[in-house]
Amino acid sequence: MSGFDENVKDQKNILRQRYRALRDSISPDQKKALDERICAITVSLASFRFADTILMYAPTGSEID
């Protein structure tokens, strides 16, 4: 792998760690409210409502539920 690729990979890992730590610092009540708000905004989008296919995932840890 080139030096550029390694640098990008390192930067992505740093960002992942930073945002995981931020998510982990949110209280359970606040996380629930934020998750509900994110879901409400998502289902209100025309691109969601008129999509032929919707992909989903199972959250782990502090990811959006």
Which pTM value belongs to this model? 0.75
Predicted confidence (pLDDT) per residue in 3-28, tens digit: 778 899 999 999 999 999 999 999 99
Taking Cα atoms as reference points, which of 23, 51, 50 lies closest to residue 38?
23
The pair of structure tokens assigned to 20 is 């995981």
| Residues 22, 64 contacting (CB under 8 angstroms) | no
Residue 34: other Cβ atoms inside 10 A: 14
Residue 1 — pLDDT band, cuts 50, 70, 90?
A: low
